[in-house]
Structure 1
Amino acid sequence: MLLPESVPEFLREPVSSVLLRLQSTADEALLQSFREQPGLEEQLARALIGSDYLAQLLMRQPTLLQTLVVQGETAQRPGDAVYEAFIQAARDAVSDAELDVLLRRFRQRIMAGVIWRDLNRLLPMTETTAELSRLADTTIQVGADWHYRQLVASYGTPIGKYSGTPQSFVVLGMGKLGAHELNLSSDIDLIFTFPETGETRDGPKSIDNQAFFIRLGQRVIKSLDARTADDFVFRVDMRLRPHGQSGALVLNYDAMEDYYQTQGRDWERYAMIKARVVAVSGGQEPQQDAERLMALLFPFTYRQYIDFSVIEALRSMKSLIARQVQRKGMNLDVKLGEGGIREIEFVVQAFQLIRGGREPRLRERQVGKMLAILADENYLPAAATSALQAAYTFLRNTEHALQAWQDQQTQALPEDELAQARLAWVMGFNAWPDFLHALNQHRARVTVEFRAVIAAPADDSADERDESEAFVGLWDGSVQEEEARELIEKFAPGDSDALLQWLQQTRDSRAVSNMQASSRTRLDAFVPRLLAMLARLAGTAELPSGVAETFHRVIPLMEAIARRSAYFVLLIENPTALHQLVKLCSASPWIADQLSHHPALLDELLTPESLYAPPDKNALRDDLRRETLRLSWDDLEGHMETLRYFRSAHALRVAATEVTGALPLMKVSDYLTYIAEVILEHVLQLSWQQMVLRHGAPGQAGGGAETLPNMVIIGYGKLGGIELGHGSDLDLVFLHNASPTLSTDGEKPVDNLTFYTRLGQRIIHVLNTSTVSGKLYEVDMRLRPSGNSGMLVASLVGFEKYQLTEAWTWEHQALVRARVVAGDEKLAGAFEQVRHQVLSKARDLTALQQDVKDMREKMRGQLGSSETGSALHLFNIKQDAGGIVDIEFMVQFAVLAWAHEFPALTRYTDNIRILETLADVGKLTHEQAQALIGFYKIYRSIGHQRALQQESGVLSAEQPLFASERQHVRALWAALLE
């Protein structure tokens, strides 16, 4: 074993004697290995130069070097067999002392291999941290299992008071252990817990469960942490437990949940991001106990809303660390110093805590993997994440090199020249200045990216702060009333009375009065900024409703988020989002109402480029697929909440484009229809998967089972006609084509007809159930064969028979606007054939005219304005004579009257293209068709606009009443139907 020539002269002396000693104790097999593998000598030299701890360890245990080399652990992580042999040996230990020796000797073996491989860069840094984390997991589990058995022998088995079942000891690994990121000399941060109170049974002496588990926790800590002749296993830190050092060593699940829900602090949330159950001992169902613990901790860690308050708290924590670093002279600390490991972790945690409650992919514990996700999801530029990834690897490698030297937990760069030269050489540099230059480059880039995410927003310039500060007195009431009026009149003439009234009302509201101090501080910071934005936009096209009215529309939102004040931080931190809020609330009270009912939608205001550019149908599908990717099919609640947010978010985008004129009416309806179709496709698949899980798949003729739903969802009315508006109901009909004589193939089989009926019920449940986010859609199933008295899900054969022999004329009128919106493609084609066949029947023209007129008169009498539209001062644009429904009825009459002669009339389901086809086949002149199309678009546009203003579809004398248009429509009605 010789020192390679590549080792610098000044580093040769300290390890020469170690090599000679190792050579003198090596057997021939080991020496032969070194002769056959020349690279081993250089690897050994680098490992010894980089780690005095390893050198001392190999001299104390000469056989350890042979074990590493012969077993191949100098190049690869030890296999499962090594761990299994250790676990079995520990299980057979007869005393605490024997167990402790086994634990420490195993740690030494694993550490020797880890240091060798890490300093020689034989495996990626992530392999090093994974191996160290596996070592910790294994030793914790072994220690807990052994001591659990000993305590059961002394006190009996701990039994739950309520469940009556054996209780488990659950160990929560925090920090780097939880994330599988342990470093070379890491403490392990642990929290001990158990599911349920109670007492031990069937032992010599009974004690309560908490006493049992406290004893167990103490023994586990001693086995891992105590220093013996064989050193220690891991330093154990329990300070992250509830109440810290003053708290009980072990708490049950109820106490844990109560603490985190009532007393948990911000920094504890950050810590909980990486939390992972690392060991479970005893109990009846250890896996379920672990999952239950993580489930009860989830609501504390991740908020269901977008939580921008964490940035403010992260800044505070970083400032505290920075002051500590400066005070203790730790500026060269590669973890806590500027541009260090902690800043990279903070960047990652900011996105996790802000959005992790809504986006499961962001709950990844490991920093490296999270950086890749942030790039994939476009939260950070690829160049930024690449730079942070490179810096993280370099900094962690540096940290390991520092800790490998003496097996001490340190991140401080050395100050003496020899130590600096050694560290530089181990890190692959010829001299300290070269290493320091590379280190500083990485740290500088980290600082830039950290400040971009965590630092105070650049938008919050001095001018903007001054601008909002001018309105502080207006909000807090410290400005005299006359002075307040003068201030308001400067930017909003005539609005001072109303705005002062709304300000007073907001200050005095119960929601504001009951706010916690921290939330009130955020509100007090937000309102002056809101007023400043209103003043800036006053008199422009972006504030059509004026200052006072727009402020009035924002009040419900402020009251809605009074108890979830992180949303105030979102708007304070992001002036762009505040600008969009003011602009959209001024443009539409409907949008203001949506935001107040669903504050999570404020997240959409952060990116105007996507807010005003709704995705097409394929992009919508991809978006929904991405949103639901991590949800299992049996997570019905998760899917329902995701679908509701998806619909609300995309409907907001469509409304934003509509009120700003970025999209024409036809495109608005297209997008709203696409949203519904994509949701229905997913709901059908979700419901199918859940039904198959319960009952198995329906049998199919010819043998086997169906692999996809043999079913279609038919959209009628506005959905079928691709004319959905904001808040439209869905008129649906379900059809299947399953064999009625067969059954499903599951453990709880049902016949195919029952399966599809329940499938339909499940679809309606998903769409129609009110959750915390409201309903997905109101669903109307009355257009199915025989209406409410008919089967919920009809067969295609039964549907065809009903339409041809029993359906009323009005049902055929409805069929004109019917089309498949989700489901099996083959069945969809068959439905289109049936639809064409029914609509193409030759009909008695006089009888058809009378049926259509009778139905129209009935509808007008029930739904039209009280003056039936004849008076000059009222016009129901949908139901009154000359309105939307007259045009729709004329189109439906034309299809039913002439489709047998002109099959092209059944091709489309939307009124505009049918009118164009009527002109093409000569049943209307092009002038008549274009006139009706123009009137139809105008009416629908007015209807959309009034819906967004939360106004009814009845026009009064204050608005244009379209007298000439109505007269023209009535003239065409008379020509066709009278």
Structure 2
Amino acid sequence: MQQAGESYTPVPTALSALLVRNQARVEDALARLDTQPEWLQAQLDHVLIGSDYVAEQLQRHPEWLAELIDSGDLQQAYADSTYAQRLQALLAVTTDEKELHRQLRLFRQREMVRLVWRDLNRLTDMRGTTRELSRLADACIDRTLDWLYGQACERWGTPYSRADADGVRHPQRMVVLGMGKLGADELNLSSDIDLIFTFPANGETEGARRALENQDFFIRLGQKLIQALDNVTLDGFVFRVDMRLRPFGSSGPLASSFASMENYYQNQGRDWERYAMIKARVVAGDTVAGAELIQLLRPFVYRKYIDFSAFESLRDMKAMINREVRRKGLDQNVKLGAGGIREVEFIAQAFQLIRGGRDAELQQRELLNILPQLPEKVGMPDTAVTELTEAYVFLRNVEHGIQAIADRQTQELPDDDEGRARLAWAQGFADWTALTDALHNARAAVSRHFADVIAPADEGEETADDQRTEWLALWQGEMDDDSSSAFLREQGYQQPEVALKALQDLKGLRTVQMLQKVALERLEVVLPPLLEQVGLCDNAETTLERVLVLVQAVLRRSAYFVLLSENPAALKQLVRLCSASAWFAEQLSRQPVLLDELIDPRTLYAPPDLTALRTELRQQLLRIPEDDIEQLMETLRYFKHAHMLRVAASDITGVLPLMKVSDYLTWLAEAVLEAVLEIAWRNLTEKHGVPMRAPGVPCDPDFIVVGYGKVGGIELSYGSDLDLVFLHDAASNLETDGGRPLANSVFFNRLGQRIIHILNTFTPSGILYEVDMRLRPSGNSGLLVSSLSAFRDYQHKDAWTWEHQALVRARVVAGSPALAERFEQVRHEILQQPRDAATLGTEVADMREKMREHLGSKNTGDTEHPVFNLKQDRGGIVDIEFMVQYLVLRHAAARPELLRWTDNIRILDSLEAAGLLAADDAELLREAYKAFRAAGHRLTLQNLSGVLDEEEMREYREGVAAIWQRLMAA
């Protein structure tokens, strides 16, 4: 397209007559110019071809052209506040309504000339035009409302709320919500404005001879506002006003109280109103109260759960629009026709409704702020977003070109030769064919992506329909038992009577009997494909039992059925993973919101590393207000459960080996612990200030979380608790520097309590982690948080050998890096103490024997089915761990490299490298350890205890026991 400042492009012959006609209309305006800028002729011709409206306005107001040029307004964008300031200056000297109407219309026409000029000459882009148009409308509504409110209060009194508990009445002002394109700052060149009038509270006016109810007052005020903006006079109109989006539509009151608004949307709000409310914005009146109203209505718009029912609603709305398009012949409509502007809006807003409740970044009004988020948020390809964005901008520019011609609210492509030629040239195309080719390509891309996102149900697949009919006949009891069993056997169920009973039990539940119609319909849409997939599993009946537990858990949250029916791949993943793992099925039944994680296999089977986990969690927490502890806790739990599910999916399908599974589970715990410490620290320091390390020197935070056991050894499993110790390094005789100071020791003790509270408090999403603090100095009788010096003294003077064994696997998992280094020095110091080998061996062996007696399997009396406890029985996991710890404690004084690692596999590598363990023995211990832990993972995923038949793993068990005998028995 020809841009401003480029050399002049000759006007096509077909448009010469049009140009001459409109040039004649602006002769007076040109005659008033002292000089003509070099750029004027090219830009003026472009506008005169593109807009009869501008030609007409300059003919009626010839002085405007000189004003616009001399002020520089044609060549520069306005600040957001410019319109309001200029209009306020005009209305400040306006004394009656007739003059108000005139000033508003002249102001609007003058600014529209400027905006059309800038748009057609591409002196601004599409977003610049729509934003300025929205600011123009905001200013006209708000300044007019303010003027009219003052007049209304003089006439009818000032509205006040009813007295509150303290007997106080508050003055009331109207709140005007802008909906649709106005609310989204996307107003087009000739758009009407969708408004809703509301006010904070009922009451009555005072200060006039006769009091009015507040609602009556605001209805009258609203009528005045509509007249001021919408009435057509000799000077035109300001904005066409549409009030049909208010509660109850045209039959509802013109203005409603906040309480009425909340009650309406909570009890009667329809799906299309949720869609409309996405774009709601306070555009005039009491902005503070308006912000409260928006928050009040947010739960209606954005569900807390992933809400795939939005697809159904938007599909129904689009079908209705399509019927209207066909009925009225709107195929040439760039907004409503196939592949038009509305379809791009539907794509973006579908995902806003679906995920906006869980992701505040999607709770934005402007479409072009939403589209770029879709690759990250929902996995939409970048190329699709690029095509949609380019098509949307192009279609909006064409829409502006259509409307610029006569300031008419239309999106219909012209059907006359001159109209087509002028639109094509104004949009920078050589002719109408070139423009329609570009339109076809843009609309085809939008239609393709719209079908991918909000595709209608497949039609014409008779086999699938027949299959679905048979499944529903079985579910609804229309088949006899023999026919049902035969059908189930055909579908892969080896024990059809078991499957049939499971389905009949579900059907007989009172919850199912009482389901609302829409929920039952959703259930019956998803059951056929779900049952069909289950039948493909080797353990179909077991899988069915697990899947139906999940179905039962979400009966009252039927949007999850929509999620599965809308995402066949997610349904397949669900069945596959539930078939492989009872634990997986149980987690989903407890936390159905995690079903959303099944949708994108790219993330489901690719758990991130520690850095990515930290980044993702930080971004999620940044969206939550810092003082909303409850929501922060829920976000942490969802994050942990979602990522644990991803790891389990990768584990079940063999994508990740055992060691990587433990790595990811440990990194997940570390990321969570870091975030929990940050939340607890911020929460306490806001109240009490920062503890002092030394007088005038604040801690940073001089606090660490030390992980022992599995978290310390980077060997977490799915159900592992966290063995933790909290340490600080601040002066005990100092206190915090806040307005409510605490002694350092008290502060850090409360910090520890707060961390434990966040980790193991039971919320609707469960707990984060069970926490075991028994490894702290003096165990359960000791302080919850110790200083590093007290910890060192305890380890030197009072700790048992088993506590030094535990220290072999200890490492800092969160907190101050500087204090972590000091802790590591203390750890090395303790573990490198010289030890008598015989005494050490006796103490380690005695402790191991006590553990076997108390925690090992009790095979006595069960000679028929002896079992092997993977962890505690002879030759099991703990034997390996004790041997590793014994060798580290015995040799660390001479071999400090043994202290580098805290996980058993790498310690075994170090022992072998140091010549302290024969290569064959080290290899057997490594392989046995990995085999035992892999078996433990498998059992956990089946919700089974860590016990095997005694014959399993016999070779490993005997090999470990033999090494124990050689190493420890002496």
Provide the TM-score with structure 2 as the length reference: 0.93
Letter paired with 1:687: A
TM alignment of 1:708-723, pairs within 5 A: 708-723=700-715
Is the Cα contact below 8 Å between 2:832 and 2:892 reproduced in 1? yes
TM alignment of 1:441-590, pairs within 5 A: 441-456=441-456, 463-492=463-492, 494-535=494-535, 537=536, 543-544=537-538, 546-590=539-583
TM alignment of 1:75-86, pairs within 5 A: 75-79=75-79, 80-81=81-82, 83-86=84-87
SS at match of 1:733: strand
Letter paired with 1:383: T
Shift in CA distance, 247/866, structure 1 to aligned 2, threshold 3 Å: farther
Match of 2:639 among 629, 637, 646: 646
Shift of 1:162: 3.8
Is the Cα contact below 8 Å between 1:4 and 1:45 reproduced in 2? no
Give the aligned partner of residue 34 of structure 2.
Answer: 31
1:603 aligns with 2:607: no
SS at match of 1:57: helix
Letter paired with 1:116: W
Letter paired with 2:10: S
Give the aligned partner of residue 4 of structure 2.
Answer: none
Give the aligned partner of residue 960 of structure 1.
Answer: 951
Is the Cα contact below 8 Å between 1:720 and 1:817 reproduced in 2? yes
Is the Cα contact below 8 Å between 2:875 and 2:961 reproduced in 1? yes
Deviations 1:382-419 (A, max 9, x none): 22222222221221111112212222211111222222
Gaps of 5+ in 1: 538-542
Shift of 1:142: 1.3
Letter paired with 1:715: G
Deviations 1:211-251 (A, max 9, x none): 33333322222222222332222111111112111222222
Give the aligned partner of residue 6 of structure 1.
Answer: 10
Q: Could you tell me how far apart the structure 1 residues matched to 2:528 and 2:660 are? A: 38
- The RMSD of aligned alpha carbons is 2.7
1:297 aligns with 2:297: yes
Shift of 1:5: 8.0
TM alignment of 1:859-870, pairs within 5 A: 859-867=851-859
904-913 vs 147-156, greater mean Cα deviation: 147-156
425-434 vs 709-718, greater mean Cα deviation: 425-434
Is the Cα contact below 8 Å between 2:870 and 2:936 reproduced in 1? yes
Is the Cα contact below 8 Å between 1:160 and 1:166 reproduced in 2? no
Deviations 1:111-151 (A, max 9, x none): 11101111111110111000000011112211222233334
SS at match of 1:94: coil
Q: Could you tell me how far apart the structure 2 residues matched to 1:5 and 1:877 are? A: 84
Match of 1:906 among 871, 879, 899: 899
Is the Cα contact below 8 Å between 2:25 and 2:58 reproduced in 1? no
Match of 2:614 among 621, 643, 658: 621
165-174 vs 195-204, greater mean Cα deviation: 195-204
Give the aligned partner of residue 3 of structure 2.
Answer: none
Q: Could you tell me how far apart the structure 2 residues matched to 1:819 and 1:101 are? A: 76
Q: Could you tell me how far apart the structure 2 residues matched to 1:182 and 1:693 are? A: 43
Is the Cα contact below 8 Å between 2:205 and 2:211 reproduced in 1? yes
Shift in CA distance, 58/392, structure 1 to aligned 2, threshold 3 Å: same
SS at match of 1:551: helix
Letter paired with 2:189: L
SS at match of 2:414: coil
Give the aligned partner of residue 277 of structure 1.
Answer: 282
1:687 aligns with 2:680: yes
Shift of 1:793: 2.8
347-356 vs 843-852, greater mean Cα deviation: 843-852
Give the aligned partner of residue 63 of structure 2.
Answer: 63
Give the aligned partner of residue 733 of structure 1.
Answer: 725
Give the aligned partner of residue 945 of structure 1.
Answer: 938
1:150 aligns with 2:151: yes
Shift of 1:450: 1.5
Deviations 1:656-680 (A, max 9, x none): 2222233222221111111111222
Q: Could you tell me how far apart the structure 1 residues matched to 2:379 and 2:606 are? A: 18
1:804 aligns with 2:806: no
Shift in CA distance, 608/869, structure 1 to aligned 2, threshold 3 Å: farther
Q: Could you tell me how far apart the structure 2 residues matched to 1:527 and 1:5 are? A: 64
Give the aligned partner of residue 196 of structure 1.
Answer: 201
Q: Could you tell me how far apart the structure 2 residues matched to 1:794 and 1:394 are? A: 65
Deviations 1:686-744 (A, max 9, x none): 333344444444445474645x4332211111100111111211111122223445554
SS at match of 2:73: coil
Give the aligned partner of residue 405 of structure 1.
Answer: 405
Alignment identity in percent?
A: 51
Q: Could you tell me how far apart the structure 1 residues matched to 2:211 and 2:702 are? A: 61
Shift of 1:339: 1.4
Is the Cα contact below 8 Å between 2:379 and 2:600 reproduced in 1? no
Letter paired with 1:337: G
Shift in CA distance, 291/56, structure 1 to aligned 2, threshold 3 Å: same
Q: Could you tell me how far apart the structure 1 residues matched to 2:60 and 2:831 are? A: 94
1:210 aligns with 2:215: yes
Q: Could you tell me how far apart the structure 2 residues matched to 1:870 and 1:859 are? A: 21
Give the aligned partner of residue 49 of structure 1.
Answer: 49
SS at match of 1:227: coil
Shift of 1:335: 0.6
581-590 vs 401-410, greater mean Cα deviation: 401-410
Aligned length: 957
Q: Could you tell me how far apart the structure 1 residues matched to 2:762 and 2:207 are? A: 49
SS at match of 1:74: helix
1:897 aligns with 2:890: yes
Match of 2:272 among 256, 267, 271: 267
Shift in CA distance, 809/376, structure 1 to aligned 2, threshold 3 Å: closer
SS at match of 1:471: helix
Shift in CA distance, 303/12, structure 1 to aligned 2, threshold 3 Å: same
Is the Cα contact below 8 Å between 2:306 and 2:355 reproduced in 1? yes
253-262 vs 126-135, greater mean Cα deviation: 253-262
Shift in CA distance, 167/804, structure 1 to aligned 2, threshold 3 Å: farther
Letter paired with 2:262: E
Q: Could you tell me how far apart the structure 1 residues matched to 2:857 and 2:575 are? A: 35
Letter paired with 1:596: S
Q: Could you tell me how far apart the structure 2 residues matched to 1:216 and 1:801 are? A: 77
SS at match of 1:912: helix
1:877 aligns with 2:870: yes
SS at match of 1:190: strand
SS at match of 2:74: coil
1:126 aligns with 2:127: yes
Shift in CA distance, 9/935, structure 1 to aligned 2, threshold 3 Å: closer
Q: Could you tell me how far apart the structure 2 residues matched to 1:331 and 1:962 are? A: 71
Q: Could you tell me how far apart the structure 2 residues matched to 1:51 and 1:99 are? A: 27
SS at match of 1:31: coil
561-570 vs 253-262, greater mean Cα deviation: 253-262
Is the Cα contact below 8 Å between 1:860 and 1:868 reproduced in 2? no
1:829 aligns with 2:821: yes
1:431 aligns with 2:431: yes
Letter paired with 1:616: D
Is the Cα contact below 8 Å between 1:402 and 1:423 reproduced in 2? yes
Letter paired with 2:824: E
Q: Could you tell me how far apart the structure 1 residues matched to 2:734 and 2:283 are? A: 48
Deviations 1:625-664 (A, max 9, x none): 4434433433433432222222112111211222223322
Shift of 1:181: 0.2
Shift in CA distance, 885/478, structure 1 to aligned 2, threshold 3 Å: same
Give the aligned partner of residue 110 of structure 1.
Answer: 111
SS at match of 1:732: strand
SS at match of 1:556: helix
Q: Could you tell me how far apart the structure 1 residues matched to 2:841 and 2:780 are? A: 27
Shift of 1:502: 0.4
Q: Could you tell me how far apart the structure 1 residues matched to 2:8 and 2:806 are? A: 89
Is the Cα contact below 8 Å between 1:738 and 1:752 reproduced in 2? yes
SS at match of 2:264: helix
TM alignment of 1:635-674, pairs within 5 A: 635-674=628-667
Letter paired with 1:945: R
Q: Could you tell me how far apart the structure 2 residues matched to 1:297 and 1:348 are? A: 20
Give the aligned partner of residue 540 of structure 1.
Answer: none
